[in-house]
Amino acid sequence: MTRFLRFWWDLIRFFFRLLYGPFAWTYDAVAWTVSLGQWTAWVRTVLGYLGGPRVLELAHGPGHLQVAMNRPGLTPIGVDLSPQMGRIAHRRLQREGMPPRLVRARAQALPFCDAAFRGVAATFPTEFIIDPQTVQEIVRVLSVPGIVVIVAGCRLPGRDPFSLFLEWLYRVTGQRGLLPQASEAAWRQSGLALRTEWVDVGRTRVLLVIGERFHDPV
């Protein structure tokens, strides 16, 4: 990696640390802007794939998917390392009259027993999702049968300067591969049956990476 690329990735990581940390209160506005108002609709694309009743969301952020998953047949639990995001999601769920089942933890060390969840979801995750320890933990807590659904990217239809700028931004932040950083080795070795699907959301398209578990590893 060249010195410039290393500087660029360090800058991106610093931005995400701010966005998930002290500037978490700006997350919804930033997400709305970079998605042209489609962010929550993109996030909800996972709902049609998750089996119940117990489902786990990794990096729950401000809690929009937690709210959407609080419906008959699903018992969602959210994990996030950011205390700021935990507080925002907690308040959002309470305003909706929903129980805040939120845990502060790292995806690489999930505080749950084996086979605890029928479904696991992550929407636009950062590079933690390709950490082999994260993949190992997801497989460990996933039941048989079970499914993992990751919202990994999106495509915007416009050719106006702002849409083109957003397309460039998604590429340089790693949101154009099947998984962040286009490094999928840990997932290929997970034992899950992997596939990708594009889902139309209005005039945009969302890329899902889906992993299904049909049996225990031999």
Contact 78, 60 (CB under 8 A): yes
What is the C-alpha to C-alpha distance for residues 80 and 148, in angstroms, rounded to an integer? 17
The two structure tokens encoding residue 119: 């479904």
Domains of the chain (ranges, CATH numbers): 3-213 (3.40.50.150)
| Structure confidence at residue 185 as a pLDDT band (50, 70, 90) | confident
What is the C-alpha to C-alpha distance for residues 136 and 77, in angstroms, rounded to an integer? 19
In order, the DSSP letters of 68-88 are: HH-STT-EEEEEES-HHHHHH
Closest CA to 137 of 103, 102, 113: 113
3-class secondary-structure state, position 128: helix
18-33 pLDDT, tens digit per residue, is 666 666 667 766 666 6
138-158 pLDDT, tens digit per residue, is 999 999 999 999 998 877 765
- The whole-number pLDDT of residue 15 equals 60
